[in-house]
Structure 1
């Protein structure tokens, strides 16, 4: 599958994009506040360009939004997107997807699959993990379509062990500049058992321009692999402690401001870290439980892959929200096994081994705002 037209979208960014990776010493603090100087681009036009590049690939799985309640004009929705996009260096050099052709992982086209997914759902807040092309791809391009971003790399990213890597992977958080004002950003290195770990988180405090309401949003990626359940639980506990402090500092009331936490937790719902979040004093709820008939069950999977060790289908990704601060208006449905296909993920029609999670939230009206 050639990509003869795959330079069209990025030709408009040729002044700033480079195929060379950033020096490994460059950190997020040097570029977090930088904004692209390009004119605003039309997201719909860029989406069409992505579709043109990908015209020879199978279409992405169709997914419908399942509405849970009616929103009101006085309480606008906030669309949240959570996605582990699969670091390019790991996909090509470490993860060993035995049923995925290497051609399907070619960055020259795979980046368009990622961008097509983002531009299709047009989230107001975008939370990503395994981002190793932040500075040369996502930050400049998403800035052009109205997003402001922040990136926190892993201190010892496994991407750096791969030849010809593009630098460390990490978490990235983007938000619509039109919808929100940034009040503050914290970059956290998670601890476990009194030790600093290789996992990180970003916490942004945003003020909604439509409603004047303030909330915090966090993105994280916990330790992977079986056998590390206690470690993940400790990381989750540390993150919850930090979130409680940050939210309380921003709020005018003792309970603090509402919170959204997105992440690849690398943990099934029966793990302790999941139970910690569900029982947290922050009163968090998982948005995707609203898809179940009982409202208490997560999807059957958010990741489905085949490696040399065998096939793995697991629920690892979550969008947590303050149940006293937000209501869930709609949730993007999960694709079927038939849509995913027998070779699982990633594939020619889907760029990551994790599915994106997308939900529409709205603020619960505070009593004094109803008067």
Structure 2
């Protein structure tokens, strides 16, 4: 019996759902397009689905009776042909109802976002009765929304895109980037005022600052809210039956999970990786013991590290729900995407590196990680996305989010905080976690923070990521103060994007990038170029060629979007885990039978340095460990286990 006859079908989520939801009509209306909603709202049988509640608000003059698809001369609107200009540059001969003050009262208010957008988009004939002179603003504004429209048609929370439309959008993005020359060479060091709104703070990139209309902003920063699929509020329960033998050492647990993964059948081994600095100096011998034979289980690999050395592992582990039902890894075998296969590879990649701190993104099986890592004395903090896209897909295991784990026998949790990142004072769907940790051996403290910024390509999306980055900086600075900081995550931005310069050029934090600095001499790290543009430009060129390499329905993606930032004056970068070569990864890229995620883990060794001469050591603290931990737990919102 097929699925149609039973009325059942699999819900693939927002990218692979046959219906596109409200994405195109919302964007079309905001750009004053004469859109036909019937082109975007269909049920599975091709019948029209346009209920009264689904009609978007008539904010501009939109055709009251759109042409019927059944008419002979009907042709769907296409604003991205090579010989046509994008909508928004069209000449308006007739003033719109908003400028003529015949629209609804709440739209004619000069403070409304819609009225502001109308004033910027409408032609001279429309603006002249009001005496508006916004020509200087209008050109840049239209340029931004040309890109916004193209991006919306290609990748902003819609289904699989057409290649011609994607190329049109990318062409606009490249032209804009070339016009601005990336804005890096001449950008001053960025100083973000914690008391100032993100919209008012200058980026130094030479761009005109403006806030998009609230409706468009909400559409761009949210995910599930604009999905036509119903929300399915499942909880994290798929691993409730997991049983582990008690008292397993690190090496014994690795052997155990390898046996569980195989299920009696020999499986391809996990990709082998090595550290960037294999030659060790005398003072690095203790630290280097963990750098040897990463993919073998041995006593050498599990040797403890002496001194204030911190090993951090940063990794987007790939949400099981999204990876299997939504992301479209067309070259990955279905068996390699199953949770039964992936979960033990994830554990192996983490435990064989023996990190002290683990920062993860796209975590939708926190209880599994909590149980397995907890057997090795790790404790974890988890904070989910407020409107996770996982919740719109059947067979989900609850929302995905960010997590931080730390080694309890080496580190003591002093406090933590979480934040839903904002964009122009609007909460987005991205989150961050910050934790303050204390070295049990020396009493010194440091902070670690992790995040997962907005995904997808496009100049406007890059600007949104930059605004999220500003909010992240304010949050982290307020939490960490002058404490040494490790800031890592999946930023979904290549080094040429504004967010990279925003973080490295921020006077509040003065960070460096671990993978960019690992091969530099200590003096070069501590005394970079005085010109921030030159400093950022050089750091860009030293970043690894990729941290993610995958093949999706749209094509092959190979770029650097994951980072570990740190405070160079208080933390010394000692080593970083290298990335496998293309020949090792294989022609089908990741995820695969040999690697469980489309992102590679970043593993960095840092030495926590004494405070500077004028500084004050903040980690000496007083009181017993037990009392401190008792006071910390339950003092913050979130989930500490």
The bucket for the TM-score relative to the shorter chain is: 0.7 to 0.9
Q: Which residue of 2 aligns with 1:198?
A: 429
Q: Which residue of 1 aligns with 2:586?
A: 341
Aligned 8 A contact 1:283 1:324 in 2:
no
Q: Which residue of 2 aligns with 1:244?
A: 477
Q: Which residue of 2 aligns with 1:157?
A: 388
Runs of 4+ in 1 over 6 A off after TM superposition: none
SS in 2 for 1:110: helix
Aligned 8 A contact 1:221 1:264 in 2:
yes
How far residue 167 of structure 1 moved from its aligned partner, in angstroms, is 0.4
Question: Please, what TM-score do these two structures have when normalized by structure 1?
Answer: 0.84
- Once the two structures are superposed, residues 290-333 of structure 1 have per-residue CA deviations (whole angstroms, 9 ceiling, x without a partner) of 35677651000000110110001010100111111100111101
Which of 561, 564, 582 is the equivalent residue of 1:319? 564
Distance in 2 of aligned mates of 1:318 and 1:58: 28
Matched residue count: 332
Question: Please, what TM-score do these two structures have when normalized by structure 2?
Answer: 0.50
- Once the two structures are superposed, residues 129-180 of structure 1 have per-residue CA deviations (whole angstroms, 9 ceiling, x without a partner) of 0000002x01122111110100000011111111111000000100000111
Which of 498, 517, 524 is the equivalent residue of 1:272? 498
Aligned 8 A contact 1:71 1:362 in 2:
no
Aligned 8 A contact 1:86 1:131 in 2:
yes
Moved more, 204-213 or 39-48: 39-48
**Residue segments in structure 1 that go unaligned for 5+ positions in a row:** 1-22, 28-37, 249-255
Which of 335, 359, 362 is the equivalent residue of 2:604? 359
Aligned 8 A contact 1:291 1:299 in 2:
no
Distance in 1 of aligned mates of 2:371 and 2:344: 14
Aligned 8 A contact 1:189 1:200 in 2:
yes
* Structure holding more strand per residue: 1
Distance in 1 of aligned mates of 2:284 and 2:612: 18
Which of 226, 238, 247 is the equivalent residue of 2:457? 226
1:284 aligns with 2:491: no
Distance in 2 of aligned mates of 1:71 and 1:209: 21
1:51 aligns with 2:283: no
Distance in 1 of aligned mates of 2:497 and 2:413: 34
SS in 1 for 2:468: helix
- Once the two structures are superposed, residues 77-105 of structure 1 have per-residue CA deviations (whole angstroms, 9 ceiling, x without a partner) of 11000000000001110000000011001
Distance in 2 of aligned mates of 1:115 and 1:91: 17
Distance in 2 of aligned mates of 1:106 and 1:341: 19
Q: Which residue of 2 aligns with 1:208?
A: 439
SS in 2 for 1:82: strand
Q: Which has the higher contact order (CA 8 A, sep 6+)?
A: 1
Q: Which residue of 2 aligns with 1:251?
A: none
Distance change (3 Å), C-alpha of 1:26 and 1:308: closer
Q: Which residue of 2 aligns with 1:115?
A: 347
User: Which structure has the greater CA radius of gyration?
Assistant: 2
Which of 385, 390, 408 is the equivalent residue of 1:177? 408
Q: Which residue of 2 aligns with 1:263?
A: 489
How far residue 26 of structure 1 moved from its aligned partner, in angstroms, is 7.2
Q: Which residue of 2 aligns with 1:148?
A: 379
Aligned 8 A contact 1:87 1:132 in 2:
yes
Q: Which residue of 2 aligns with 1:133?
A: 365
Distance in 1 of aligned mates of 2:389 and 2:589: 24
How far residue 343 of structure 1 moved from its aligned partner, in angstroms, is 0.2
How far residue 63 of structure 1 moved from its aligned partner, in angstroms, is 1.1
1:94 aligns with 2:301: no
How far residue 24 of structure 1 moved from its aligned partner, in angstroms, is 4.2
SS in 1 for 2:542: coil
Distance in 2 of aligned mates of 1:148 and 1:205: 14
Aligned 8 A contact 1:53 1:109 in 2:
no
Q: Which residue of 1 aligns with 2:417?
A: 186
Moved more, 197-206 or 284-293: 284-293
- Once the two structures are superposed, residues 93-135 of structure 1 have per-residue CA deviations (whole angstroms, 9 ceiling, x without a partner) of 0000000011001111210000010111010000000000002
**Residue segments in structure 2 that go unaligned for 5+ positions in a row:** 1-231, 237-244, 287-305, 521-537, 618-641
Distance in 2 of aligned mates of 1:355 and 1:172: 17
